Amino acid sequence: MFDAKIPAGTLDEKWSDYKGHCKLVNPANKRKLEIIVIGTGLAGASAAASLGEMGYKVKAFCFQDSPRRAHSIAAQGGINAAKNYQNDGDSVFRLFYDTIKGGDYRSREANVHRLAEVSANIIDQCVAQGVPFAREYGGLLSNRSFGGTQVQRTFYAAGQTGQQLLIGAYQALERQVALGTVKMYSRHEMLEIVKIDGKARGIIARDLVTGKLERHFGHAVLLCSGGYGNVFYLSTNAMGSNVTAAWKAHKQGALFGNPCFTQIHPTCIPVSGDHQSKLTLMSESLRNDGRIWVPKEKGDNRKPSDIPEDQRDYYLERRYPAFGNLVPRDVASRAAKERCDEGYGVGSSKQAVYLDFASAIERYGRTEANKHGDDHASLEHIIALGKEVVKEKYGNLFDMYEKITGENPYEVPMRIYPAVHYTMGGLWVDYELQTSVPGLYALGEANFSDHGANRLGASALMQGLADGYFVIPYTIGNYLAEEIYSKAVGTDHPAFVEAEKTVSDRIHQLMNIKGKQSVESFHKRLGKIMWEKCGMARNSQGLTEAISEIQALKKEFWSDLRIPGDINEMNPELDKANRVADFIELGELMCKDALLRNESCGGHFREEYQTPDGEALRDDANYMYVAAWEYKGDHNWDLHKEPLHYEVIKPTQRNYK
């Protein structure tokens, strides 16, 4: 049940050796094998396109009206790759090391090294697809820095990198749809995994337009359904993002790894009121040039332009001089929270800090003036030139900020505050990306595998495309080579009938509650519990209270929920109710996982476990493992532990000073 299947040999040879010895499926047999892909973001679209091109029969499902609307499109800042274009000391090993260290030594060495190895291939693949990465004047691809690194390895397309990468993967996917190797099912949501003889053999999906339940067979099922950040209600995730596909797999026997590991992004537009249902991300790439500060005096209500330089606290530069504003996300987020909690926050809510571009604008302006040989340019002209450079690099992000807040960030500093962004936890997978259920795989953010307790910026896009383009095409063959003798199972098989009945009964149960409260109200209440007691900081008392409160909320949900409309029609409230029911159960498991991990690491910050200067304090002797939870029934899970062994890197206290 619990074999990570990590290949033998030295770390830098494991993946090459694996590829040289894994089983193959010949082209004629590939045409007989059917693969189901759930989700068509970067991981799902790249996997479906790659597997279709290899000759497999692929069915791809998304709940959006088009794969183009997958949440991957919202990623802004960039994608990491160890190409060392800047000649600043980067390498595969450096990317591997930064990722392990950034994750606070809670990720699997073999998976992370493989990710670093294939990173360069991703850029070549995307350039070949026509992705319009930013380029230097001479035509070479441009790079910028992200948090947790001291090199420039992030490739980008202005502030819309995710959109451009998704369009590349989408074009590859649609080509296979046109060729007939991939069949696309949009407006479909997976609501159950079908298992036959212990193997994943298909799904039950609901047509979200008609309400009809459908049965689909597959020799293997790939879950590429993203993360579960919306368990907190307010997050930077698309509002439709949910945990349902992964949760159904979990309840069918797939272990859930490190559910409490949540990424808090330090650079988001602050909450503006109770009416809000989503938060907006401001790319981490802004920390390349923006300087983060608060007033040195508590409760200082002056305009930022009225606060002199010597009365500003550039607290990240002060506390972490080696990395400054480019410390990892968990470190930057906690530092912002600490300043605001101490009374130094800005804005009307006092729950924000400044991200200021004035110095960058002036610096870029002087460089531009020098280019033109204008040694005596006025400050006004220098600032005008600098604004043009910043607009070229970050213009769409600045425009977005101004539309949302009504403030011009070229003139006044942005106000930012941390928010839930990404989940490092997910379905437990082995080296082959297979879950503990044979034939069931999890790719991208849906699995736990590569980021440990904190994800470095620009690594999400890297992992999604690595899994889809360069990992699963090899590893799935190792499983499917043994399935060439397995004929397609008819969807009238008792396992399909039973699975469909389970889904139908649950839907009818939800509709028949006929209570008084809306789905949204329950989701908001769950989010409030999770943010306050399992968010940026956690403690034993709060987590214990949260578990009891979530259990009570679940009971109330199943007795007083009101869903308008009918089953056999387009009913978004019913769709949402299905998802929130799963979020409530997940929330309980997240709190249990956080309560049991008596240490602080990465984004999991237990207030009882911190260094004298407020940094995360790990306990490697007792907690250097992946927490893999097995579902045993309502409110009941068993914990399995996958020990983490570091052969190459020696875990140390993280230091960004």
**Do the beta carbons of residue 49 and residue 173 sit within 8 Å?**
yes
User: Sign of torsion, CA 24 26 29 33?
Assistant: positive
Query: Is 329 an active-site residue?
Result: yes
Question: What is the phi/psi pair of residue 214, to 5°?
Answer: -125, 150
**Do the beta carbons of residue 229 and residue 261 sit within 8 Å?**
no
DSSP 195: E
Residue 308 neighbours by CB under 8 Å, 6+ apart? none
- What the block records as the tokens of 387 is 């604004």
DSSP 469: I
**Do the beta carbons of residue 250 and residue 228 sit within 8 Å?**
no
- What the block records as the tokens of 386 is 């600098």
SS3 for 253-266 is CCCEECCCCEEEEE
Kindly write down the DSSP assignment for every residue of 23-46, as one continuous string. Answer: ----HHHHTT-EEEEE--SHHHHH
Dist CA 19 CA 477 (whole Å)? 10
Dihedral in degrees, nearest 10, Cα atoms 261, 262, 266, 267? 140
Q: Work out the burial of residue 199: count CB atoms within 10 Å of its CB; fewer than 13 is exposed, 13-18 middle, 19 or more buried.
A: middle
Q: Which of 533, 596, 578 is nearest to 259 (CA)?
A: 596
Position of tokens 């943010």?
531
Residue 646 neighbours by CB under 8 Å, 6+ apart? 100, 105, 109
Q: Which of 112, 15, 91 is nearest to 456 (CA)?
A: 112
Dist CA 332 CA 317 (whole Å)? 11
Amino acid at site 564 = P
CB contact burial 450-478 (16+ within 10 A = b; e otherwise): bbbbbbbbbbbbbbbbbbbbbbbbebbbb
Residues 50, 59, 493, CA angle at the centre, nearest 5°? 135
Residue 203 neighbours by CB under 8 Å, 6+ apart? 36, 38, 61, 190, 191, 192, 193, 194, 215, 216, 218, 221
Dist CA 391 CA 84 (whole Å)? 26
**Do the beta carbons of residue 247 and residue 586 sit within 8 Å?**
yes
Dist CA 579 CA 357 (whole Å)? 40
CA-to-CA dists, residue 516 to 91, 110, 121, angstroms: 58, 51, 54
Dist CA 425 CA 255 (whole Å)? 11
DSSP 517: B
Query: Which one of the listed residues 287, 329, 597, 606 is annotated catalytic?
Result: 329
**Do the beta carbons of residue 166 and residue 176 sit within 8 Å?**
no
By annotation, the residues acting in catalysis are 329
